[in-house]
Chains A and B, each alone.
Chain A
Amino acid sequence: MPTNPVAANVEREIQSLSAGILAKRPQLEGIVKPFAALFIEKARLAEDLNNQLGPLPLDSIGTRLSEGVPVLCGISFSFLKQALDYAFTALAPAVKSRFPAIVSAIDRIETEQRLGALDLSLLAEEYLGGGLSGIREAAPVTELYRQSLGFVVQLTLSAVLQSLAPSLAARAAEIGWDHGHCPICGSMPLISFLSQPPNTPSEYLVGGGGQRYLHCAMCGHDWHVRRQFCAACEKDSSDQHMYFKAADAAGERVDICPHCAHYLPCVDLRETDAPAHLDTMAVGLAHLDVLAQEKGFHPMVRTPWNTFA
């Protein structure tokens, strides 16, 4: 059990949310259960990782953001090496227990990491920057190993950055950011949400809220964008914006960009009482991923739960 109250709270949120999803859609059990378990492991890591993360070796955060450069883009991740190793060691058993099909690949990655043959900080740095050569070279044997390594790097880096991101969120919000990629780590969004109404109701006005936020697939940072903004092509589609939703699913939809044919799942927090653990919500909308892809649209970010073939 987690020892810190924040992790315990997140764990309860994930459990409650995944139970709600499976009560509505038992067909998603094979997808939701293992990933919800991984998200809980990541939440449990949060406190330990916070203690291991040193100060960010940057003194120009404001300048970077104001110039449109994500805070962590293009910097060395050597300062994260210890945290990445720790997170990988903690997460690998959870991955193996939830996904027996890749146990052999994870075993091999564990061995290589233990022997010092894999530098997770370098791999993470390259992964985040889009340079994939390090992962290709590090995994010369099988496609499954290569892709398992990519999965592990994403998962491990995500756990570390989700611990780091909250300390940078206020600065990012203060400077302002109008891009489709994350101001902190530069990754694309996993899901968006429409915000709840403000807590200051007026007797003369109704509604409110509905502001659109993008939720980073990697570090979990949320940032505000215009309602009809496409994160992939960064265009507004004020009279062509479209979304699909299932007839009986309030507050769940997938937004479609008419310009670049990308899609992004979205939850409207004004229409749901469910706890807002957005990563779990994204997994719980895998059926909308199926539908959007069948209609010819592409996800903003590839995840195992939106990659079906």
Chain B
Amino acid sequence: MEVNRREFLKVSGSGVIGLSLLQLGVDVRPVRAYAKALKIEGTKEIVSVCPFCSVSCHIIAHVRGGKLISTEGDPDYPINQGALCAKGASMLSMTRNENRLKKPMYRAPGSAKWEEKTWEWTFEQIASRVKKVRDKDLIQKDASGRTVNRLESLFFIGTSHADNEECAAAHQMVRGLGIVHVDHQART
């Protein structure tokens, strides 16, 4: 049996048969006035992938005016079925939380005061200090003469706020420098 979809829509969409509120004697002016006074917001729903681990739960990102305004688990994705772990659920705060750090902050050794610094100054400081320590402490060969290129005087710790790709890039960077003490805040 063939179902003619056009027939369904003929009734549903055209309004060929059926009364209007005006014909029913209902005054539509109040609802029109109410609707006109409303502040209406248009929002897009965009399906994306949670970046925080390799499970890659799907999320629905709600975007208004080019800005992310909320996120939720994608209810149609079979793995998470609308739910998210604590990290995934906090995704919005990664980009929208007003209390998050937005500029580099520096506290000099022995100081109790945080100072706001530029990114250029911060990158320069990190690069020069890492280079200085690495130049001084890099262990190129072990006691047996084998090449090891170990840097044991630097420690690198990652953050649960870093996504999969950021973690991969950071890992390659610290291994490339020879750093052997690497850990992650979220490993527990």
Contacts and interface: CB of A to CB of B under 8 A. Distances in A.
Interface of A: 25, 27-31, 34, 64, 67-70, 73-74, 99-102, 127-132, 135, 144, 146-151, 153-154, 181, 186-188, 194-195, 197, 202, 204-212, 217, 226-228, 232, 238-248, 262, 286-288, 290-291, 294, 298-305, 307-309
A286 B4 CA distance: 29
B35 A245 contact: no
A167 B75 CA distance: 27
Given A242-B45, A245-B43, A302-B13, A290 B19 contact: no
A132 B11 contact: yes
Contacts, number: 217
A1 to B, nearest CB: 27
Given A197-B82, A228-B45, 14 more contacts: A29-B30, A67-B1, A129-B7, A130-B10, A135-B17, A151-B17, A153-B17, A227-B60, A291-B40, A300-B13, A301-B12, A304-B19, A304-B20, A308-B31
Contact of A287 (B1, B35, B82): B35
A31 B26 CA distance: 7
Taking chain B's interface residues, is the majority helix, strand, or loop, or is none over half, making it mixed? mixed
Contact of A188 (B12, B40, B75): B12
A307 B15 contact: yes
A197 to B, nearest CB: 7
Interface string B73-93: 111100011111110010000
Contact of A245 (B40, B76, B85): B40
Contact of A244 (B9, B14, B40, B82): B40
B89 A246 contact: no
A287 B34 contact: yes
B33 interface: yes
Nearest to A206: B89
B84 A206 contact: yes
Interface string B38-70: 111111111100000000000010000000000
A303 B18 contact: yes
B34 A307 contact: no
B75 A209 contact: yes
B24 interface: yes
Contact of B45 (A129, A227, A288, A302): A227
Contact of A239 (B6, B17, B22, B46): B46
Contacts of B33: 27
12 contacts: A34-B24, A154-B18, A188-B13, A194-B75, A208-B82, A210-B75, A243-B45, A244-B41, A287-B31, A287-B35, A298-B13, A308-B22
Contacts of A127: 11, 17
Contacts of B30: 27-30
Contact of A205 (B13, B40, B84): B84
Interface residues of B, number: 57
A212 B75 contact: yes
B16 to A, nearest CB: 6
B43 A246 contact: no
A228 B24 contact: no
B146 interface: no
A212 B74 CA distance: 11
Contact of B31 (A31, A132, A154): A31
Which 6 A-B residue pairings sit nearest by Cβ, starting from the closest?
A: A150-B17, A101-B25, A130-B7, A302-B15, A188-B12, A290-B35
Contacts of A209: 75, 82
B168 interface: no
A299 to B, nearest CB: 7
B9 A208 contact: no
A212 B45 CA distance: 13
Given A68-B3, A246-B40, A307 B21 contact: yes
B187 interface: no
Contacts of B47: 228, 238-239
A286 B40 CA distance: 14
B142 interface: no
Contact of A28 (B9, B34, B43, B75): B34
Contacts of A149: 17
B108 to A, nearest CB: 40
Most chain A CB within a 10 A radius of its CB, from B12, B21, B28? B12
Contacts of B23: 101-102, 144, 147, 304
B83 A207 contact: yes
Nearest to A242: B44
A181 B5 CA distance: 9
Contact of B18 (A64, A151, A291): A151
